[in-house]
Amino acid sequence: MKELADLLSQPFCLATTVFSVAYGLMGGEIIEYDIETSIEEVERVFDIKLGRLVRSKLGAAIALHATNQFFLYLEPFGFTCKTFNDDDPFFDKDSPPDPFDLVWGVTEALMMTPIDETIGNVFSEEVRIYTGALLEYNGITTPPKVLGFAVYPDDIQGTEMAEWAAAAHLRRTTDNLEDLTNYTGIRLGTLQTQLNIVKRDLNSVAGVVVPVSP
């Protein structure tokens, strides 16, 4: 149990990890309680203090299960993506998520709550265009598969560039896509390692936990 307690105390503890622990302790009722109650229960059981970032991750994960605002509005979308990727959770128009925040934030969010039209878990036009604009700004004109919902501004898609500029832009796009793909793979590996610790250690205090597997 000490390894799990140590993990929960670290800022790199992933959102799925801390949510799995809280869910294992409290069950489905975690959605009904306020976030502070969930935080206090995790801290009580493991005799630790969760850091600000891990608290934000748990709060964002609970909100993700309780509402569909992540799919609909820029503020919860941007906040969740940044928080899940260990970034400063502060979000406004001057501090948007970067492509690494987007690709991991959406990857982890969709593992928790997949797209489902029947319950409104569908990205709004506002979020789709916002994502496309951020990707294009960072030189990614073809989105990674998980960000395939992105819509690029019309004035960008029709832009013609000189041959040399097009070649340079393509190289930058390819490099960025490869970086995003590699980054996602690394984070998935980290998540699997953390969930293995959860499965092993949480049994000693709360019975069987049902974590979200990558």
Site of tokens 């700004």 = 137
pLDDT score at 176: 74
DSSP per residue over the chain, as a string?
A: -HHHHHHHTSTT--HHHHHHHHHHHHGGGGGTS-HHHHHHHHHHHHT----HHHHHHHHHHHHHHH-SHHHH-HHHHHHHHHHHTTS----STTS---HHHHHHHHHHHHHHS--BGGGTBS--HHHHHHHHHHHHHTT-SS--GGGTT----HHHHT----HHHHHHHHHHHHHHHHHHHHHHHHHHHHHHHHHHHHHHHHHHHHS---PPP-
Residue 107: exposure state from Cβ atoms within 10 A (0-12, 13-18, ≥19):
buried
pLDDT score at 32: 86
pLDDT score at 21: 95
161: tokens are 């560039």
Q: What CA–CA distance (Å, rounded) separates 48 from 50?
A: 6
Q: What CA–CA distance (Å, rounded) separates 182 from 188?
A: 10
pLDDT score at 210: 42
pLDDT score at 110: 96
Q: What CA–CA distance (Å, rounded) separates 90 from 76?
A: 11
pLDDT score at 208: 41
Run means of pLDDT, 10 residues per run, the chain, 214 residues: 94 96 90 90 94 95 94 95 88 81 97 88 93 86 90 59 53 71 95 94 59 42
pLDDT score at 38: 93
Predicted structure pTM score: 0.85
pLDDT score at 174: 61
Nearby residues of 196 by Cβ (< 8 Å), 6 or more positions away: none
β-pair partners for 121: 116
pLDDT score at 131: 93
